[in-house]
Chains A and B, each alone.
Chain A
Amino acid sequence: MLALAGVSLDVSEGEIVGLVGRNGAGKTTTMRCVMGIVRPDQGTVSWLGHPVGQADRRRFGYMPEERGLYPQMRILDQVSYFAQLHGLEVDAANASASAWLERLGLKARAEERLVALSHGNQQRVQLAVALVHDPSLLVLDEPFAGLDPEAVDSLSQVLSDQAEQGTAILFSSHQLELVERVCQRVVILDDGRVLAAGTLTELRRRFPAELRVKVDAPPEWAKALADTRILRADQEGVLLIVEPGVDPQTILRAAERAGKVEHFGFESGGLIDLYRQVVSR
């Protein structure tokens, strides 16, 4: 069974990269390769120009998709324990654990066992474990899964703050609107292959866009446009599929020649639309 086939991606310091794809696309396997949990048959994982070793990975923070912590362990002790495993001394580990629990709104529950917390709060503890040792790279597998909107906003802010401090962040999610909001770059996986990678702007330029034009004239004016086709025509005008490279001004001039232009604007270009176009090819 082939899990990954030639996946290559990079994450820079201070950058948030979103890894998206359907179930079974290879997102988790990719992350597990980065963390050394599985070893690829071919290829390398490099950090700062050299192959990743155990010492490098101790500087990484990881949050697996299945929340993995000790259910009967008190959360402050647990976060401190993982900090010590990552090389912090006891006092520094305790201090960092306390600080992160406070920042994530769990200070009052520091002495409670993990099992006593709600799903969302357990996820916060998991995030604290990933962040407590001030990692250089954060690898988060579905960190927003199951969170309420407030928790999503809170976590998004944490990730943004960490990126501003120079942490490289790679996370996967099925919530494309969230990825679009938080990430600078996106990597789209399917069947173990990278289908597309880049910023949203770069991706938009590579794929057709939807342009709605409302002219007080029949839609035939649009049929003669090159590298453009009519998706549908209704009382709101015509919805055009515009291939990459087409100058919108050309379409605008054609519409003005046909009649009075009441509306001219791109309707798509969001990550959801881009994702659908990418995977459908």
Chain B
Amino acid sequence: MTRLVARREITERVQGRLLRVMTALTAALVVAGIVIPSLVRGPSRPTTIGLVGRSAEALAPALQRSAAAAHVRVKLHSIATDALARSEVRSGTLDLALSAGPTGVQAEVKQSLSAADRSLLQATLDEAHLVQTLARAGVPAVTIASALTPVPMTTRALEPSSPDRQARAIAALAASLLMYLSLSLYGAAVANGVAQEKTSRTAEVLLAAVRPEQLLGGKVTGIGLTGLGQLAIAAAAGLIANAFVHSATIPGSVWVLLPSFLVYFLLGFALYAFAFAAAGAIVARQEEVQFVTLPLGMILLGGYLLVYAAIASPNAAWLRVISFLPPLTASLMPARIALGHVAAWEIPVDVLIMILSIYATARLAARIYTAALVRGGARISWRDAVQLRAR
């Protein structure tokens, strides 16, 4: 019977246009999230600088030294005239044009001079001025050259970040957002389905043939499998897109992230679906579903927002602790896996806690569902619902 009920839920949704539209939209969003960044971000290129006139050309060695010291790549060109330089800056051939005159050095750019370029040019000019001043003061060229040699400096990162940290953060956010939207959407589908069956008295006709637990289990299973199928299609579309563009936004751990995401979706959905079903059973009118399910939606939203804190402090102890709280596990764990800060033992412990929580929630929800589904009158409060007994 449960299988029959589940099959009906799947069939109704698959035949409906909404699911197909949502699946296509979700897949398109995932693909766009992978393809667009690879199109927008090209490989880094050197800053092209046009040097107008001999005075500006004399700055070339200093420019090369300053760029080397700052680990910046520059490409210098000699430009014959100011007009030609301006034309090439406007067309984008040059990033900036330098000219030197009696009043000083002028840098011409198309819109604005970046802070990095400004630092580079200022360092160059300062060095040139220093060299000139020392030379006028009679300091030998060898001494000047020795003085201009960069002082070696080493750096040590106390908490080194992974080379693809940004990509992992994006993946964590994307996974969390997708989890939040999926659990909210499919949880609401369960609540609305139950409410519709209750308020239309379809439940009474159904209960003549099936037990309430079979009805509840079939509905949760059918809608859950529908959601899983939709996410699997979106994930497959993303993987195919990634194979074509090799987007750097997808970390190498994608083969761990994707299956774990689907597993946590199933666990999270099972936990929330039973709660959403109980919510749908306690309403008196279909319009009350949104109000009754609001607490569940808030918890889901809270889980999503916590991911931002997780990105900022991926190793925080408090984060590890709250990841074990069943209502937050599905939101946080895929994100933490994407960030790469999950110990191997955490996942099986998480899964075990979730399974136990799902069992407890299902039992409570089934009791509420059975008693409330055919109960008339006004909407039942959550407190009263917990105390209900089947009549």
Pick the residue among A38, A58, A72, A129 that contacts B205 (CB under 8 A): A129
| A68–B202 touching, CB < 8 Å | yes
User: Please, how many angstroms separate the alpha-carbon atoms of A69 and B208 in the complex?
Assistant: 13
* Interchain CA distance A70-B197 in the complex, whole Å: 8
Q: Tell me whether A68 and B203 are in contact in the complex, defined as CB-CB below 8 angstroms, given that A85-B1, A85-B4 are known contacts.
A: yes
Asked whether, in the complex, the Cβ of A37 is within 8 Å of the Cβ of B209, the reply is: no
The segment from A17-25, A59-67, A159-167, A200-208 that touches chain B is A59-67
Contact between B200 and A32, CB atoms less than 8 A apart: no
Task: Please report which residues of chain B, range 317-358, place their CB below 8 angstroms from some CB of chain A when the two chains form the complex.
Answer: none
Given A72-B12, A73-B12; A37-B210 close (CB under 8 Å): no
Cα A87 to Cα B203 with chains together (Å): 17
Asked if A35 contacts B200 (CB within 8 A), the reply is no
Contacting B at CB under 8 A, from A14-71, are 32, 35-39, 54, 57-58, 60-71
Known A35-B208, A57-B208, A72-B16; judge A67-B391 contact (CB<8 A): no
Cα–Cα distance between A81 and B9 once the two chains are bound (Å): 11
**B204 and A62 within 8 A (CB):** yes
Of residues 1 to 55 in B, which have CB atoms within 8 Å of A's CB atoms?
1, 4-5, 8, 11-12, 16
- Using A67-B201, A69-B200, A85-B1 as known contacts, say yes or no to A36 and B208 having CB atoms under 8 A apart: yes
Q: Is the CB of B8 within 8 A of A37?
A: no
CA A213 – CA B370 in complex, angstroms?
Answer: 61
B134 interfacial by beta-carbon distance below 8 Å: no
Contact across chains for A64 and B204 when beta carbons are under 8 A apart: yes
| CB neighbours of A68 from chain B (8 A) | 197, 200-205
Q: Say if the beta carbon of A184 comes within 8 Å of chain B.
A: no
- The answer to whether A36 touches B4 (Cβ under 8 A) is no
The one of B16, B197, B200, B207 that contacts A36, using a Cβ cutoff of 8 Å: B207
The answer, yes or no, to whether B206 is at the interface (CB within 8 Å) is yes
Which residues on the B side are within 8 Å of A54 (C-beta)?
A: 211
Q: Is the CB of B207 within 8 A of A81?
A: no
Contact with B along A74-114 (1 / 0, CB 8 A): 00010001101111000000000000000000000000000
CA distance A207 to B201 in the complex (A): 38
**Which residues does chain B contribute within 8 Å of A38, judged by CB atoms?**
374, 391
What residues of chain B lie closer than 8 Å to A84, measured between beta carbons?
4
CB of B107 closer than 8 Å to a CB of A: no
Query: For the complex, what is the distance from the CA of A277 to the CA of B277, rounded to whole Å?
Result: 48
> Closest A-chain residue to B211, C-beta based?
A54
- Bound CA span A72–B193, Å: 12
Partner of A39, one of B202, B204, B391: B391
Interface size on B, residues (CB 8 A): 24
Residue from the list A60, A65, A69, A86 in contact with B202, Cβ < 8 A: A69
Which chain A residues (123-178) contact chain B, with CB distance < 8 Å? 129
Dominant secondary structure at the B interface = helix
Q: How far is the CA of A61 from the CA of B204 in the complex (A)?
A: 11
A54–B214 CA distance with the chains assembled, in angstroms: 13
Write the nearest CB–CB distance from B212 to chain A, whole angstroms. Answer: 11
Nearest CB in chain A to that of B373: its residue: A37
Question: Known interface pairs A57-B208, A58-B208, A64-B205. Does A37 touch B200 (Cβ–Cβ under 8 Å)?
Answer: no
CA–CA, A58 and B206, complex, Å:
10
Query: Could you tell me the distance in whole angstroms from the C-beta of A97 to the nearest C-beta in chain B?
Result: 14
C-alpha spacing A66/B200, complex, angstroms: 7
Q: Is B148 an interface residue (CB 8 A)?
A: no
B245 within 8 A of A: no
Complex alpha-carbon distance, A54 and B208, angstroms: 8
Q: Which of B153-196 contact A (CB under 8 A)?
A: 196
Set of chain A residues within 8 Å of B4, measured between Cβ atoms: 81, 84-85
Structural contact, A64 and B201, CB atoms closer than 8 A = yes
B284 shortest CB reach to chain A, Å:
13
Do A58 and B390 touch (CB < 8 A)? no
Among A35, A39, A57, A68, chain B packs the most CB atoms within 10 A around the CB of A68
Chain A residues with Cβ below 8 Å from B374 are: 32, 37-38
Chain B hits for A73, CB < 8 A: 8, 12
Please tell me if the beta carbons of A85 and B210 are within 8 angstroms of each other in the complex. Answer: yes
**Inter-subunit contact B205/A57 (CB<8 Å):** no
Nearest CB in chain B to that of A77: its residue: B11
* A→B interface (CB under 8 Å): 32, 35-39, 54, 57-58, 60-73, 77, 81-82, 84-87, 129
Q: Other CB < 8 Å A-B pairs besides A38-B374, A82-B205, 9 of them?
A: A37-B374, A61-B208, A63-B205, A70-B12, A72-B12, A73-B8, A81-B4, A85-B5, A86-B209
Q: List 21 A-B contacts (CB under 8 A).
A: A35-B208, A36-B208, A37-B204, A37-B374, A39-B390, A54-B211, A57-B208, A57-B209, A58-B209, A63-B205, A64-B205, A68-B201, A68-B202, A68-B203, A68-B205, A69-B205, A70-B12, A81-B8, A82-B205, A86-B208, A86-B209
